[in-house]
Amino acid sequence: MQAKIQFIKGLDEKVLPDVRLTRSRDGSTGTATFRFKNPNILDKSTAKEGEITGMYLIDEEGILETRDVSAHFSNGKPETIESIYIMKTPKAWDRFMRFMERYGNTNGLVFTKAS
């Protein structure tokens, strides 16, 4: 199974996100902020598929999910979807990083550390 992201269960998001990671100094917690510019979930053709119920990160280990999803508008039209995934334990951080490695490999993404 390839790693994928969905906002409506069963409908894969094809637009690749910009992902920003932060981690506490002691490494016990972390936050991932996903930004999707003009995602296919906002297309009129996908509107009939259902409502956005969260962001689902799916791979062979299972599903990571967050309900923290918001749309940003420009000139009255939704343009960007932003979602925040919070990791509350080092184990959750490791699991998220395994998902991101698989998702990155599937989609040709690379991880760059901030300087």
What Rg do the C-alpha atoms of the chain give, in angstroms?
14
CA geometry: angle 38, 80, 94, nearest 5 deg: 105
User: Which residues, in sequence order, are CB contacts of 16 under 8 Å at separation 6+?
Assistant: 36, 107, 109
According to DSSP, the residues that pair with 82 across neighbouring strands are 35, 70
pTM for the full model? 0.90
What are the residue boundaries of the structural domains of the chain, listed by start? 4-106
Q: What digits encode the pLDDT tens for the residues 31-58? A: 999 999 999 988 877 767 788 889 999 9
Q: Which two tokens stand for residue 8?
A: 């409506």
Higher pLDDT, 5 or 74: 5
3-state secondary structure at position 93: helix
Q: What digits encode the pLDDT tens for the residues 85-110? A: 999 999 999 999 999 999 999 998 87
Q: What is the pLDDT of residue 115?
A: 61
In the predicted model, what is the mean pLDDT of the chain?
A: 91
3-state secondary structure at position 83: strand
3-state secondary structure at position 102: helix
Per-residue confidence at 28, pLDDT binned at 50, 70, 90? confident
Per-residue confidence at 80, pLDDT binned at 50, 70, 90? very high
Q: What is the pLDDT of residue 112?
A: 74
Share of the chain above pLDDT 90, in %: 70
> What is the homologous superfamily of the domain 4-106 according to CATH?
Photosystem II Psb28 (2.40.30.220)
